[in-house]
Amino acid sequence: MAVRIRLKKLGRRHRPFFRVSVMDSRSPRDGKTIEDVGYYDPMVKDKSARVKLDMERIDYWMSVGALPSDKVAVLIKKVKTNDFGETKEPPPMTPPKEPPLPEPAEEEASTTEAESDGTVALEATSEEAQADDASSELGEKSGDD
């Protein structure tokens, strides 16, 4: 029988909790265990308190041929070296940035330009209207034939 030391998932959705278990390699992830040798709680903020392993039992099972899974091997290494890393503080919250406001001087300058160009624009629209009327009259005449 091939024996593995692996994680057994407990907890609920969005709140994981794992037991470190000695299991037959053919059993399902949450199946029957031979022995529970610790736990791993990834939701604990203090990294050193996330893992609790019974190292005597783990050493025994490894001596009789049990192989740890990849994740469990990392956890065992961290417990043996007592190197869990440092917990980083979250960055401070900052207020959202406000979009830059347009400068009022530019708006005033553009409105004065539009007013001075308004007379030219009116003349252009009246010429376009006369051209449209002429083209529509030509279209009516060609339709009479």
Torsion over CA: 46, 50, 52, 58 (sign): negative
Task: Give tens-digit pLDDT for 3-53.
Answer: 999 999 999 999 999 999 999 989 888 888 899 999 999 998 888 888 999
- Residue 16 Cα to chain centre, angstroms: 19
What is the distance between the alpha carbons of residues 44 and 94, in angstroms, rounded to a whole number? 26
Would you say 23 and 44 are in contact if contact means Cβ atoms under 8 Å apart? no
> Is pTM, for the whole model, over 0.75?
no
Alpha-carbon distances, residue 51 vs 33, 66, 76 (angstroms): 19, 20, 9
**pLDDT tens digits, residue range 50-75?**
899 999 999 999 999 999 999 999 99
- Residue bearing tokens 């019974």: 54
Using CA atoms, how far residue 116 sits from 56, 120, 124, in Å, is 92, 8, 14
Q: Which of 128, 29, 133, 28 is nearest to 71 (CA)?
A: 29
